Amino acid sequence: MPIFALQLKARMVNVTELAPAGNWKTFKWHLKEKQQVGNRGTSLEIMQDSFRPYVISSEGDDDDFKDIIHFNCRGMEPTDFDPRSGWAANATDSDIRFDSIDLSEKV
C-alpha cells in the first residue's frame, strides 16, 4: 500500500491558507496516473484526515514544497497533478475570502 503525498508550492501575496473551495473530500484532484504492469485493478483513496491547507508560516517559507494531502494507491502511481480551478484563499489584511481562484496557468 504505497502512500503518496501531493505537494504544492505557491507564491502567495496578500493571501493565506490556500485550499480547495468547499469540502476537500469532494474536490476533484485531477491526477494523472501510471498503472503498474500486470496489475488487474487500481484504487486511489484519500487518507483519512490527511488534508492540510497550504499556509505560509514565515518569510521565505513560500520557497518550500508542502504536503497538502496523502493518497493510498494500489496498482497505480500518481505522476502529475493539474490544479485547475476551484481553489480559495483568505486575505491577510481583512476578512475577505477569495472563493474561485484558478490555478490552471503553469509558470
Asked if 82 contacts 66 with a C-beta cutoff of 8 angstroms, the reply is: no
Per-10-residue mean pLDDT, the chain, length 107 = 90 90 92 84 91 82 87 93 94 92 83
Instruction: Evaluate whether 57 touches 22 at the Cβ level (below 8 Å).
Output: no
pLDDT of 99 reads 92
The three-state (H, E, C) secondary structure of 6-38, written as one string: EEECCCCCCEEEEEECCCCCCCCCCEEEEECCC
User: Which cell is 35 given?
Assistant: 498503472
Q: What is the pLDDT of residue 37?
A: 80
Domain positions in the chain are 3-102
**In terms of Cα–Cα distance, which of 18, 11, 32, 2 is closest to 87?**
18
Furthest-apart CA pair in the chain: how many Å?
54
